[in-house]
């Protein structure tokens, strides 16, 4: 099958246009546009205390955000000295917060073990601080017994 030169030029032009649009990193690069909510997206970080992976999915409507999290291993102990989330240590978390500038405050985060959702832990005063220069969000907490801060890196594009 022979391809006409006109067809080849048209297809090359079309492919270049589509490819150029797909490679336009100004939009959807994970960098928030001026005035956009910097927390919106999927975040991941390494818990330096136990080496587990922490992930947060953050969706927002204006300045109100729904925060869903997971940790591949939670090393907390209950009052009897047993690991809270046995046998695997995996847990899920959820909370709702509000954004003020570069801070997302989550007044109450509920933690539940993946294997036994009835086991819940309440932790007051979590917040994330977005660092524009380094493009990271740092999890902080007022609970001094816990091991935060943990730096999260955005792994999604808005």
80: confidence class by pLDDT, cuts 50, 70, 90:
confident
* Domain boundaries, given as residue ranges, for the chain: 31-154
Mean pLDDT for the chain?
74
Lowest-confidence range among 56-65, 81-90, 96-105, 131-140? 81-90
Indicate whether 14 pLDDT > 50: no
Tell me which CATH code domain 31-154 carries: 2.40.128
Is residue 50 over pLDDT 60? Answer: yes
Residue of 155, 105, 157, 96 whose CA lies nearest to 130: 105
Question: pLDDT exceeding 70 applies to what percent of the chain?
Answer: 63
Top-ranked range on mean pLDDT: pick from 26-35, 60-69, 70-79: 60-69
Backbone phi and psi for residue 70, each to the nearest 5 degrees, phi listed first? -145, 150
What is 71-110 written as a DSSP string? ES----B-TTS-BTTTTT--EEEEEEEEEETTEEEEEEEE
Tell me how far CA of residue 124 lies from CA of 68, 105, 109, 110, 140, in angstroms: 16, 10, 7, 9, 11
Would you place residue 35 in the very low, low, confident or very high pLDDT band (cuts 50, 70, 90)?
A: low
CA pair distance 130, 138, nearest whole angstrom: 7
Could you tell me the pLDDT band of residue 96, with boundaries at 50, 70 and 90? Answer: very high
Is the overall model pTM greater than 0.95, yes or no?
A: no
Average pLDDT over residues 124-145: 80
* Residue 92 reports pLDDT greater than 80: yes
Residue range 30-56: mean pLDDT, rounded: 82
- Is residue 88 within 8 Å of residue 115, measured between CB atoms? yes
Q: Which residues contact 20 (CB under 8 A, 6 or more apart)?
A: none
């Amino acid at each position: 099958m022979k391809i006409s030169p006109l067809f080849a030029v048209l297809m090359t032009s079309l492919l270049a246009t589509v490819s150029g649009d797909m490679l336009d990193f100004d939009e959807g690069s994970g960098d928030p546009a001026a005035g956009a909510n910097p927390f919106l997206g999927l975040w991941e970080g390494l818990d330096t205390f136990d080496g587990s992976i922490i992930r947060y999915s953050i969706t927002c409507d204006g300045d109100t955000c729904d925060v869903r999290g997971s940790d591949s291993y939670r090393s907390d102990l209950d009052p009897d000295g047993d690991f809270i989330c046995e046998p695997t240590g995996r847990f899920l978390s959820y909370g709702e917060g509000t954004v003020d500038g570069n801070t997302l405050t989550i007044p109450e985060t509920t933690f539940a073990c993946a294997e036994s959702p009835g086991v819940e832990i309440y932790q007051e005063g979590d917040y994330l601080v977005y660092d524009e220069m380094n493009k990271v969000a740092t999890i902080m907490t007022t609970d001094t017994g816990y091991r935060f801060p943990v730096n999260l890196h955005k792994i999604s594009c808005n």
